[in-house]
Chains A and B, each alone.
Chain A
Amino acid sequence: TQLLEQSPQFLSIQEGENLTVYCNSSSVFSSLQWYRQEPGEGPVLLVTVVTGGEVKKLKRLTFQFGDARKDSSLHITAAQPGDTGLYLCAGALTGGGNKLTFGTGTQLKVEL
C-alpha cells in the first residue's frame, strides 16, 4: 500500500513556466519533507513542514502543508534547467520515529 501518492509522475516543461507537484495521502503526518534527487546521488532535503496550513518559501519554490496534514504541494515559479531532477515528498507518522514514508516521486525536466 502506497501511503503517499505524487502527481504528476513526469513533467517536461520549458524554461520560465510555472508548475505544481502534489503529494496526497489518507494518513495524517506529524511532519512532511520535500527532497530533490539527482541521478546516482542521495536525496537533498529542501524543506520540512510541520504545521497544518503552513507555507514555506525557498527562492522560487513554495511549499504548502494541507490544513489536515494529509497533503502537500510544491510550486515552482519560472522554472530553470537547474530545477531538473526527481522531487520526492516524505512523511513521518506520529510515533514512527525517524521512519519516513516516501512518495512515488515526480521526475521534472526543464528545457531551454
Chain B
Amino acid sequence: KAGVTQTPRYLIKTRGQQVTLSCSPISGHRSVSWYQQTPGQGLQFLFEYFSETQRNKGNFPGRFSGRQFSNSRSEMNVSTLELGDSALYLCASSLTGGYNEQFFGPGTRLTVL
C-alpha cells in the first residue's frame, strides 16, 4: 500500500506571497492532519480534516488554512508569507480517530526569503 505523498517536496517563496501544499493520504484513510516543524518550536499541530470537515485546529493565525476533498486529499494554504513560516510542513493520515495512529508523509520544505 502506498504511503502518504506530499507535493512539492521543496519550495522557495518570498515574503508576502502565498503558497499551497498538497497531501494525498494512504488509500482508505479519511483523516488528514497537518503539522509545522521548526528547530525552535518542534512539531506543532496546525489542523485536522475528516470527511471534508475541519475537526481540530491548532494555535496558528488565520493566514494558515486548509481543505479536504471528497477523495480525502488535502491542501493547506499559507497567505502573506512571513520569514518565520519557513519550516518543514508535514501531513499525516489515519483511518479514523481510533488509537490516533498517524502516518506521516516526507514533508514539504518551505523556505521564505
Specify the main secondary structure of chain B where it touches its partner: strand
Of the residues A31, A33, A41, A92, contact of B107 by C-beta under 8 Å: A41
- Residues B4 and A98 in contact, CB atoms below 8 Å apart: no
- Residues B58 and A99 in contact, CB atoms below 8 Å apart: yes
Specify which chain A residues have a CB less than 8 angstroms from the CB of B101 in the assembled complex. 33, 45, 48
Minimum CB–CB distance from B85 to chain A (whole Å) comes to 18
Q: Residue of B at shortest CB range from A88?
A: B43
- Residues B50 and A97 in contact, CB atoms below 8 Å apart: yes
Interface residues of B (CB under 8 A from A): 4, 31, 33, 35, 42-45, 48, 50, 55-56, 58, 88, 90, 92, 94, 97, 99-107, 109
Interface residues of A (CB under 8 A from B): 30-31, 33, 35, 40-45, 48, 50, 88, 90, 92, 96-105
